Amino acid sequence: MELLIMISACKGGSANKITAVLPYFPYCRQSKKKSHRGAITARMLANLLSMAGVHHIITVDLHASQMQGFFGKPVDNLYAEPLIARWIRHHVPNWREAVVVSKNPGGTKRVTSLADVLKLNFGIVTTDKRRGNINMSASTILNGVDGAYDIDGDVESARTIPSSEESKNGSTANSQVNGVHPSSSVDVIPSSLMRNLGQESETTTDGRARNVITGRLFRGQLVDDDFSSPSLSMTASTTTLSGEREPEPLQDPMSASVFSTSSHFSTNAEPNLDEGGGASDEEEDALAEHEVAEQMITLVGNVKDKSVFIVDDMIDKARSWIAAAETVVKRGGAKKVYCIATHGLFGDDCLQEMVECDCIDYVVVTNSYPIEPEKSKMAKRKLVILDISPLLAEAIRRNHYGESVSQLYQQYYD
């Protein structure tokens, strides 16, 4: 509101041109509908600025670059990537051996861009949000397979139509063993074919598949594979023929992720409207706290004995950052972890939790969003704040004199 009031005052004072400088664009995460009746708050804010009389907008690292289409005025979306890359070159020892990692699939484009600038390898950490509370007995796919035939029931229910070749040779009746007719639900593969398949799989095995590491997250914390999840212990049961439920042994979490959970329906579930494939921190935390107690986390890439740069556009909640850092250190064997973002929002106790995490060595952000002095002093040993005021000052100067701002998007190699 203060910005809109200032724009109105400048317009009332007959200003020739009004430029709004927003290092962090508010409500930039709400750039699309997250539910059927949800509001697109970023577009509403863009309309407010345009109607107030602004002529030009300068901002830094929008959450989604397509948000520039919300404005009817020119927008300069500056990048902090050159500043971050220069800091890495000057302050990170052995940075040429490091790996850039994305903590969710939605940030891969930003991560690959920084990796290309520094000529580094990159990796990705992804979380299976459908992992928790999986009731395999409720799956319609498995029910369909289990209900194909009943060995203890009528044998005729498992009878299948014989092939034309078997009908001509009359070998259908002779192929019955112990009174059970062969069914198409059970396939018998010759041993020679199995040997051929085994030899082919050994020859076509890609060594890069060994760089895929999986782990278990319980309420946002990385746990061991033999950790007993209370949520899964309550739901891991089967229904007997008499209608009673009896406990069954829990499946190994690594093998359980192979099964599809597409048939596990939820009447209250909202459709996934995130076309980018990555969930924001708010969505991940809401899922972890309210719906999914246990999740599967996967690291793709080799980070053993290397420094890792976990990169995103903003740091708001600490849960996903800590989970990614623990995965690359405890499972991947990384040497150091740098959490790098443009906007350091640090909601609630986010900064304190990241500072107390032993797997995170440094938290690097810019001063695009004001950080409370108390938080800065508390996190002084791990927090690094980069100054973007020269970038904004040069953009304002070039915009005022009508010069090109293309040079501001180029990398610094000094």
Would strands 307-315 and 99-102 be described as parallel, antiparallel, or unpaired?
A: parallel
How many residues can be counted in the chain?
Answer: 414
Taking residue 48's Cβ as centre, other Cβ atoms within 10 Å add up to: 14
Q: Rounded CA gap, 339 and 54, in Å?
A: 35
Q: What is the pLDDT of residue 215?
A: 81
Q: What is the pLDDT of residue 292?
A: 54
From first to last of the 414 residues of the chain, give the pLDDT tens digit.
Answer: 999 999 999 999 999 999 999 999 999 888 888 888 889 999 999 999 999 999 999 999 999 888 888 988 999 999 999 999 999 999 999 999 999 999 998 899 999 999 999 999 999 999 876 544 444 333 333 344 444 444 444 444 444 444 444 444 444 444 444 444 444 444 445 555 445 545 544 444 455 556 788 888 777 778 777 777 665 555 444 444 444 544 444 444 444 443 333 333 333 434 333 444 445 555 555 544 444 567 889 999 999 999 999 999 999 999 999 999 999 999 999 999 999 999 999 988 999 999 999 999 999 999 999 999 999 999 988 999 999 999 999 999 999 999 999 888 887 665
Q: Minimal CA–CA distance to 213: which of 141, 303, 107, 295?
A: 303
Q: Rounded CA gap, 35 and 38, in Å?
A: 5
Residue 131 structure tokens: 């992992």
Residue 167's alpha-carbon distances to 164, 171, 174, 177, in angstroms, are 5, 7, 11, 17
Q: What is the pLDDT of residue 76?
A: 94
